[in-house]
Amino acid sequence: MQTKNLILFLSLLPFLMTSCATTKYISYFQDVQSADGGQIAAAAPSEIKIRPKDKISIVISSKDPKLADLFNLPIYSHRVGYTSEYVNGNNNTNNQISAYTVDSDGTIDFPVLGRIRIAGLSREEVADYVKSELVTKNLINDPVVTVEFMNLCVSVLGEVNKPGRFRIDRDYITILDAISMAGDLTIYGEREDIKVLRTVNGQQKMYTVNLCSAEQVYASPVFYLQQDDVIYVEPNKMRARQSTVNGNNVRSASFWISIASFLASVASIVTTGIYYNGLINK
């Protein structure tokens, strides 16, 4: 009976070791108690600010469409090319509004107004500025200015279910939003050491985020993302072991399974030998 128990224990040992070693690092926000009703301090909201080389659309609407059209870039139609007419409420998916590309000096060349500086402004601030200029210069009395991001994106790489480059379509986007768009981390993602790469004053800076701690996540300077941020999810130790040559080293699960099988076979042979020796001695 003792030999059978030994064989069973050796067979289950690899699975016990694997499960005990990983469950601690899977759950998000482990420092949050669901019933305590406590609050977690969050970083101050950080809006997306326009940068050089960003693309944005600025559309002017008015009660006088022909007057507003003087301040709008042409709409590009995939079937007929460019047209100078702007149609309010146009839902034709074959048409695409042309975008402004912010120059390296932070300016765009806006119709009639000329060059205006918009780098460092949020989407709402750009709309307010353009509206103010139109009204102050008596160009349009009742302008409605709509500003949208066109090419702003963040990238999510590594151990996520759907890695890729994702478009920013709102004023605020968080690291949790980006991870959700990427289909969440795989079971092999390292949750305590998420890397975020950001360009700051022309230099790459790296931040780390611990998803297991809600307090650290919400207080992180990269909780609110900026355009061109790169999120990288490293593989955990289990994935790293699986990536070794043949996956066959002293730390891999397959190695321990092989060892357990070998020991079980040895134990079986020893047990059988003892049994037959007992018969012969009788």
- The answer on pLDDT for 14 being more than 90 is no
Amino acid 264 reads A
User: For the chain, how many residues are written?
Assistant: 282
Q: How many domains does the chain have?
A: 3
What's the pTM value of the predicted model, to 2 decimals? 0.70
Do residues 7 and 272 make contact, with C-beta atoms less than 8 angstroms apart? no
Average pLDDT over residues 6-29: 57
* Count of beta carbons in the 10 Å neighbourhood of residue 161: 12
pLDDT at 44: 81
Determine, yes or no, domain membership for 45.
Answer: no
Quick one: 164 and 143 in the same domain?
A: no
Among 136-140, 146-150, 210-214, 260-264, which stretch is predicted with the lowest mean pLDDT?
260-264
Q: What is the CATH number of the domain that holds 98?
A: 3.30.1950.10
- The answer on pLDDT for 82 being more than 50 is no
pLDDT bin (cut points 50, 70, 90) of residue 80 is: very low
Among 105, 121, 149, which residue terminates a domain? 149
Determine, yes or no, domain membership for 214.
Answer: yes
pLDDT at 254: 61
For helices 2-22 and 253-281, angle between their N-to-C axes, nearest 10 degrees: 170
Among 149, 172, 203, which residue terminates a domain? 149
Quick one: 125 and 176 in the same domain?
A: no
Q: Residue 7 has which token pair?
A: 């064989």
Between 19 and 182, the more confident residue is 182
Determine, yes or no, domain membership for 82.
Answer: yes
Sheet with 55-61, side-by-side order of all strands: 100-101, 55-61, 144-149
Q: What is the CATH number of the domain that holds 222?
A: 3.10.560.10
Quick one: 185 and 201 in the same domain?
A: yes
Which residues constitute the domain of residue 8? Answer: 2-22+244-281
Quick one: 228 and 248 in the same domain?
A: no
Determine, yes or no, domain membership for 103.
Answer: yes
pLDDT at 169: 86
pLDDT at 135: 96
Quick one: 258 and 199 in the same domain?
A: no
Among 149, 169, 201, which residue terminates a domain? 149
Average pLDDT over residues 133-140: 95
Quick one: 14 and 97 in the same domain?
A: no
Among 109-113, 147-151, 253-257, which stretch is predicted with the lowest mean pLDDT?
253-257
CA 172 vs CA 21, 118, 228, 233, 260: distances in Å? 37, 18, 14, 22, 53
Among 51-60, 197-206, 259-268, which stretch is predicted with the lowest mean pLDDT?
259-268
Between 261 and 64, the more confident residue is 64
Do residues 98 and 75 make contact, with C-beta atoms less than 8 angstroms apart? yes
Quick one: 137 and 66 in the same domain?
A: yes
Quick one: 67 and 140 in the same domain?
A: yes
- The answer on pLDDT for 91 being more than 60 is no
Among 185-199, 206-220, 227-241, which stretch is predicted with the lowest mean pLDDT?
227-241
Determine, yes or no, domain membership for 49.
Answer: no
CA angle 236, 238, 244 (to 5 degrees): 105
Quick one: 211 and 184 in the same domain?
A: yes
Determine, yes or no, domain membership for 109.
Answer: yes
Determine, yes or no, domain membership for 125.
Answer: yes
Determine, yes or no, domain membership for 46.
Answer: no
Quick one: 176 and 106 in the same domain?
A: no
Quick one: 59 and 143 in the same domain?
A: yes
- The answer on pLDDT for 63 being more than 60 is yes
